[in-house]
């Protein structure tokens, strides 16, 4: 996982710089024209096609994990989970925000990113991909908890990394998008919601509160971890 993340971190910026410098010095293009053309990449759309089925799969995979945890712990009776239907209800009650997030990504973000924008806004699309930089540390934290390694140095270091990456790549992500748009359009930030496409405003209004909610939960977990004797 870390190797793929590192490879992508080198590949995409490196490809951008190589393309931009080539267009500037070989073709004689201006800085602005070279930068605009260099940000367009076939993976922008292809990655959307590749990644969208993940959200549908993950809803099912999370339910399986929820179901098997109940079976292993023997909590079916005390939790009132005696049937598959009751398990689904309990799962939705526990993971409601995550399920809604995944459904929204498939039902709204997929057509907006792939069809509605018609090849425009690759920069903003690429910035949104940065949200996944926090995923490896979140997943590693879950694995360490699963193996009861909450008190190890690795878990604490990963917790700090998770705080930093989640805050910078998810919480600050949406304000930065509006700031970047204000610079692009040469307008004040507070006017951006008035001129930005309604789909962008709707997506930000629904996704950003979820990131804030999850970040608060992460902060609570980190506080308990570092204050526990």
Query: What residue segments make up the domains of the chain, in order of their start?
Result: 1-39, 42-117, 121-229
Of 4-13, 59-68, 136-145, the one with minimum mean pLDDT is 4-13
pLDDT in tens, 1-55: 566 666 666 776 776 777 777 777 776 777 776 676 666 666 667 777 888 888 8
pTM of the entire structure? 0.66
DSSP letter string, the chain = -HHHHHHHHHHHHHHHHHHHHHHHHTS---HHHHHHHHT--THHHHHHHHHHHHHHHHHHHHHHHHHHHHHHHT-TTTTT--SHHHHHHHHHHHSHHHHHHHHHIIIIIHHIIIIITTT--HHHHHHHHGGGGGHHHHHHHHHHHHTT-TTSHHHHHHHHHHHHHHIIIIITHHHHHHHHHHHHHTS-GGGHHHHS-HHHHHHHHHHHHHHHHHHHHHHHHHHHHHH--
User: So what's the pLDDT on residue 42?
Assistant: 65
pLDDT of 85: 80
Query: What's the mean per-residue pLDDT of the chain?
Result: 81
Q: What pLDDT is recorded for position 54?
A: 86
pLDDT band at residue 215 under the 50/70/90 scheme: very high
Residue 116 has pLDDT above 60, yes or no: yes
Q: What angle do CA 122, 51, 33 make, to 5 degrees?
A: 15
Which one has a higher pLDDT value, 212 or 109? 212
Higher pLDDT, 60 or 32: 60
Q: Which of 122-136, 169-183, 210-224 has the lowest mean pLDDT?
A: 122-136
Specify the pLDDT at position 178.
Answer: 92
Give the pLDDT confidence score for residue 166 in this predicted structure: 92
Residue 78, pLDDT > 50, answer no
pLDDT band for position 175 (cuts 50, 70, 90): very high
């Amino acid at each position: 996982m870390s190797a793929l993340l590192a490879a992508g971190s080198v590949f995409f910026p490196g490809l951008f710089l190589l393309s931009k410098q080539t267009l500037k010095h070989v073709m004689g293009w201006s800085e602005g024209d070279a930068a605009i053309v260099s940000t367009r990449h076939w993976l922008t759309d292809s990655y959307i096609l590749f990644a969208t089925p993940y959200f549908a799969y993950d809803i099912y995979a999370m339910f399986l994990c929820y179901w098997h945890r109940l079976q292993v712990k023997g909590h079916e009776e005390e939790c009132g989970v005696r049937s598959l239907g009751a398990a689904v209800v309990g799962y939705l009650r526990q993971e409601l925000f995550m399920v809604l997030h995944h459904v929204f990504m498939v039902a709204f973000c997929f057509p907006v990113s792939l069809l509605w924008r018609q090849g425009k806004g690759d920069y903003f699309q690429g910035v949104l991909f940065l949200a996944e930089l926090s995923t490896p540390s979140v997943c590693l934290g879950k694995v360490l908890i699963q193996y009861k390694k909450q008190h190890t140095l690795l878990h604490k270091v990963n917790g700090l990394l998770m705080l930093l990456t989640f805050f910078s790549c998810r919480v600050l992500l949406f304000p930065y998008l509006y700031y970047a748009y204000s610079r692009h359009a040469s307008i004040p930030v507070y006017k951006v919601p008035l001129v930005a496409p309604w789909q962008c405003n709707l997506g930000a209004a629904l996704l950003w509160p979820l990131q804030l909610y999850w970040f608060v939960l992460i902060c609570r977990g980190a506080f308990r971890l570092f204050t526990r004797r």
